Structure 1
C-alpha cells in the first residue's frame, strides 16, 4: 500500500501544478458537505458536468444527477450522459465554497453553480447535510428573446452502493416548498458499504415558484416528458423497486418554466437543495455504553421539514456570507501566492466535509446541544475515525476558521484515552477503523507513539495559544503530562519508532524533532 506521506506528497504536487488551472484537474467538486455527501465530476480539457455522470469521492460509483435546458422547444443536456444535444462549457471557476460552470446551449448562456456553504462558527448551519445547485446568469448571445425551461433529476443511486436494493420514496408539498425523499426499504443503521452509508435518506428540494412542476417516475418518462412538453406531470410513481439495473430507473425530478427571457432580464436563480440525512450519524463507545450521536442541527430544528425550509430560505444570505468567506480566504492566500490560493480553493470543502458535528440524544427527540463531539472520517484512505496525523495536517486550517472545531475534534480522542478503556502509556493513532461505528483503539501501536504523542501535545498547546482557552489543558493535564514523559524517555534516539507514513531508521531526526516539540508544548 502506498504510504500516507507519499499520497500527500503526490496530491501536493498535483495541486501545485494545477492550482491555477482547474481545466487540468482530474476532478471538480460538486456537492461536498459530509463524509457521505461527497460528489465530484471528472474534468477533461475543460471541466464540464455534461457527457458524464458524477461519482462518489472514493469510488467509481456513478451517481445519477441530470440537468437539461429547453430553448425554443429544443432540449439540451447540460449535466449527465443520456441525451444527444449536449451543451458546451465556456468557462469554469473553483472557489473554496463553489464550483461554477458557464454553459452555452444554442443561443443561451447560463451559470450552473454547485455551492456548499461553509459556516465555521455556526455549528447548526455547518452540520446541516445539504448543498445547493443553482442556475442563473441567463443571457442570449444573439441579443434576442428566447423561451426557456430547465430540468433536473437525481436517481436512487445516491441512497445505496447496491443497485439491487428496493427503494421507497415520497414527495411532500408544503406551503413554501416541494421535496422528494428516498431511502432503502429496510435501511440498516450505521452500515458502511464501499464508503456508502446504507442508512441514508436523500432529499431533493425546491422552493415553490411560478412555473415549477415535479414528477417521480422512470428516467425515460420524466426526461422525455420534459423534452416534449417543457414541464412535468406533478405526479408520483408508487411502484417501489430496485435502484437498477432495469429499464425503468426511478428518478426524482423538478422543472421550471422561465418563460420568455429577453435581453437584460434579471431572473431569480433556480435553486435546488440536495441533502443526505442520517440518524444516528455515529455509534460512539463511552466508558459505560455505546452511544448513538446525531447531527448538531437537531438542537435547532424539530423536524426535517423545518430544517429544509430553513436551508432553502437561507440561500440568499448564505450566498452573501460565503462570498465574503471566499474573498477572505483567497485574499489572504493570494498574498502568499496564486498557487496557494488555488490549493485552498480545492481543499477547503474537503476539510469540512470530512467531519460530522454530533450531539447525543437522551431520548427520542431530546438532544443535548452542550455535549458536542466532532468525528473526522479518514476520507479516501480508510474507515479510521479522528486519525491523529490527518487532524494534525488540517490543524492550521481548523485554528484559522474556528479554534472550537479543533477542540471538539480532540475531545473524543482525549476522553477515550482518559478512560479505563485505554491502558497504553502513549497516545493512540485514532478511534478505530470502523466509521461510522467508533469503538476506540486500544491496540498496541507503540511504534507510532512518538509521532502521536508529539502531535497531540502540539495540537493541545496550539489550540490553547490560538483560542486563549486553557480548559482542554486543565481537564486533560494528567494524560498530556504522561505523554510528555513518554517523549522525554523515548524521543532522543527513536530507532524503534516509525512516522505515521511508516518511515523509520536509527536516530531519525523527524521523529526526534516531533518529540522535542511535543515536550516543548507541554512545557509551555
Structure 2
C-alpha cells in the first residue's frame, strides 16, 4: 500500500490492546500520535540538518501547551503501509529521511508474536550530492503508561550488559490488573525506550518544556532539574534520545531503537494473574530486550519477506484494492488480542471488544476474525476457544448453549454480557460459532484432537441447534446493535451449518451418530430454501415481506468446510441481488438500515463466482477506508452513504477480511 491509499489511521506501534499507537493524520507531523482510543500517546521526531531543525513526527507542544510555536517540517513525500511495517519518507535540506515502524507479528512464531517490542528505524542519505551533518531527536511521553494524565509516574534507567540504554516509566501506584473496561489505557507496568549504548547516542529523561528547549536550541536539556514522581499533566515527563548520524552522504546511514512495554501481568484468568506468552519459560524482560536487539537484522529480513508474500498473494486473490485493505488491517486484527500462556503452557489468545463493550474473549468477535488465523496458525483459534470451553464446563455457566464472553478485558473471570439474563443472550449465534470454529480448526490444522478434548460441550451445543436452530425465536445475533429479531434467516443458516460442522467432526472421530446430525441438517436446509424464498433473493426473516433481504454471510462455510447443504445457486442469486443494493460505500447489512459490517461484506464478496465480481464488492469498501472522515483504526461498522463510523474501531474482526485467501486456497 502506498500514498495513493489514505489510511484513516496509520499503525505505528501495534502489539496488544494496551500497547497500540497510531497516526490519525495524512502526515506524521500533523497531529499527536494516539492510542487507538484517540487519547494522546505522544511521540516527537525532530531532525537537525546542518544546524537547521525540522520536525517530522508529532507536535512539540502537548495538548495542554497549544501555544508552542512548532518548528518547520521536513516534508513527508511518501507513506507505505505493509502488513507488519509502516514506512514514511521525508525530504528537505538536501537529505531524505526514512522512518520505519516494524512490529514483527509473524503468526508462525508465537514467541516473537507476543514480544512487546516495536522497532523504530531511522535512515538518512544525501539527495543533493553534498555531505550533511544530521542528528535525529526522538522522544516518547509518560502518557503511554497511564490511563489518565493526573496519575503520578516515576522513571529510571538501566544498562543491559553494557550494550543498551534502557529508560522506563510507570505509575507510582502500579495497580496491576485492577482496571477493567473499554475506553481505558494501561496504568501498570513500564513503558520502555531502549537505545544502543554508543558515543553517538545521547539520552535524557526530561519534560515537554525540555523538548521545547531542544526545538529552540538543538541541545538536550539536563534532566536532573525535573523531580519525580509527578503527574503526567505536570510538565509532562518524556524519555528522549538524540542520535548523531554524523556526515550523511549518498550511502544511507541508519540506526534503530526499540519501544517496549513490560506489563508484569497481562491477563487475570479466573482469578489467576497470567504472564504474556513470551515469559512462559522464565525469560526476563531485559533478556527479551537483548534478544530482540540481537535478532534485529534477521527479523527485518523475515518481515520484509512476509510483507512481499502476503501482498502478492492478496493481490492475486482479490486485486490491488483488496491488497491495500489486507496490508492495512493485518496488524490491527492481531494486536486487538493479547497472547498469554495458561498454567500448562498452552496458548490463550484473548480478544478485546474495542469501542464495543470491552468484553474479553467474545465468541462472536472471534468467529469473524478466524480466516486470518486459519490461513497462518490455527493454534491461535484454539487459544481463543480454550477460555470459552473452560468457562462453559464450570458450575458458573448454567445455560445449555455457549457463552458470549468470559469477562471484561483484561479480567477473564466469567461472562458479563447482558448481565447474564436469558433474554440478552445469543444462544443460536454462539453455539453455531463454536461448532464452526471447531470444525474449521480441525480441517485447517489437519487434526481432530482438539475437538475430541472438548466433545462434551460441542455435543451439547449441536443438540441445542438441532432442536432450536431452524426457525430461531426472538433473540440477538452477533449484529446485536440491530436489536432482537425472530425468524432470522441468516442465523438459521448458521445453525444448520453448525450442526453439519458437528457431523463433519463426528466423521473424523469415527462416530456413526454423525450421519444423524448430517441428515437433520440436510432436512433443515431444504426447509430453509422454501421458507426464505423471495423470488430473486432470500428474505431477512422467514415471516418478513419479500422486499426484505440481508447478507447471508454465514453461507461461506458451506463451501469452506465442503458441506454442500445448500444449492450453489442460492449464493449466486444472493450476490446478484446484492449488486443492485450497494451504496456509494458498500453493501448495507440488510434492508432495515444503510449501515454495514465490513467483515460480513467481505465474507459475502468472497462467495463471488469471478474475481471481477469480488472486486466490485471490495471497491466501495476501499473507497470508504480511503475517504471516511472518521480518522480511527479501521472500523467494521459504518454508514454506506455518509462513510461515517457508527461505533467500533480497532477490532479484531478485520481478520475476516482474509477469507478470500481461504477461498482461493480451496479453489487452487
- Three-state SS of the structure 1 residue aligned to 2:426 is helix
Superposition deviation, residue 353 in structure 1: 0.5
1:308 equivalent in structure 2:
289
Cα distance 1:474–1:255, how it changes in 2: closer, same or farther (>3 A)?
same
1:407 equivalent in structure 2:
382
Single out whichever of 212-221 and 182-191 deviates more from structure 2: 212-221
The partner residue of 1:242 within 230, 235, 241 is 230
RMSD of equivalent CA atoms: 2.0
1:202 equivalent in structure 2:
191
The partner residue of 1:297 within 275, 278, 286 is 278
Single out whichever of 379-388 and 233-242 deviates more from structure 2: 233-242
d(CA) in 1 for partners of 2:385 and 2:285? 30
Unaligned runs of 5+ in 2: 61-69, 505-668
d(CA) in 1 for partners of 2:339 and 2:212? 37
Mapping for residues 385-396 of structure 1, pairs under 5 Å: 385-396=360-371
- Three-state SS of the structure 1 residue aligned to 2:275 is strand
Superposition deviation, residue 210 in structure 1: 4.4
2:314 equivalent in structure 1:
333
- Three-state SS of the structure 1 residue aligned to 2:381 is helix
Cα distance 1:97–1:445, how it changes in 2: closer, same or farther (>3 A)?
farther
Cα distance 1:421–1:55, how it changes in 2: closer, same or farther (>3 A)?
same
Judge conservation of contact 2:311–2:323 (CA < 8 Å) in 1.
yes
Judge conservation of contact 1:30–1:40 (CA < 8 Å) in 2.
yes
Mapping for residues 255-266 of structure 1, pairs under 5 Å: 255-262=242-249, 264-266=250-252
Q: Does 1:444 align with 2:426?
A: no
Superposition deviation, residue 266 in structure 1: 3.4
Judge conservation of contact 2:213–2:221 (CA < 8 Å) in 1.
no
Structure 1 stretches of at least 4 aligned residues deviating more than 6 Å after TM superposition: none
Judge conservation of contact 1:214–1:234 (CA < 8 Å) in 2.
no
d(CA) in 1 for partners of 2:320 and 2:406? 37
Superposition deviation, residue 422 in structure 1: 1.3
2:86 equivalent in structure 1:
99
1:273 equivalent in structure 2:
258
1:55 equivalent in structure 2:
34
Single out whichever of 220-229 and 63-72 deviates more from structure 2: 220-229
The partner residue of 1:474 within 449, 452, 455 is 452
2:113 equivalent in structure 1:
126
Q: Does 1:462 align with 2:436?
A: no
- Three-state SS of the structure 2 residue aligned to 1:513 is helix
Cα distance 1:192–1:237, how it changes in 2: closer, same or farther (>3 A)?
farther
d(CA) in 2 for partners of 1:281 and 1:162? 19
Judge conservation of contact 1:32–1:39 (CA < 8 Å) in 2.
yes
2:497 equivalent in structure 1:
517
Superposition deviation, residue 21 in structure 1: 5.7
Superposition deviation, residue 429 in structure 1: 1.1
1:321 equivalent in structure 2:
302
Superposition deviation, residue 226 in structure 1: 7.2
Report the number of matched residues.
485
1:418 equivalent in structure 2:
393
Provide, for residues 284-336 of structure 1, a one-character-per-residue CA deviation record: whole Å limited to 9, x for no partner: 11xxxx21111111124532211111112222111111111111211110012
Superposition deviation, residue 401 in structure 1: 1.3
Provide, for residues 412-442 of structure 1, a one-character-per-residue CA deviation record: whole Å limited to 9, x for no partner: 111110122212100111112x211112117
- Three-state SS of the structure 2 residue aligned to 1:394 is helix
Greater strand proportion: 1
Provide, for residues 357-413 of structure 1, a one-character-per-residue CA deviation record: whole Å limited to 9, x for no partner: 1124xxxxxxx5623322111123221011111111111101111011111111111
Structure of higher CA gyration radius: 2
d(CA) in 2 for partners of 1:322 and 1:388? 30
d(CA) in 2 for partners of 1:131 and 1:315? 11
d(CA) in 2 for partners of 1:479 and 1:522? 11
1:159 equivalent in structure 2:
145
Cα distance 1:226–1:471, how it changes in 2: closer, same or farther (>3 A)?
same
d(CA) in 2 for partners of 1:238 and 1:75? 24
Mapping for residues 42-121 of structure 1, pairs under 5 Å: 42-43=24-25, 47-58=26-37, 60-82=38-60, 83-121=70-108
d(CA) in 2 for partners of 1:243 and 1:67? 23
> TM-score when scaled to structure 1?
0.88
2:465 equivalent in structure 1:
487
Q: Does 1:370 align with 2:317?
A: no
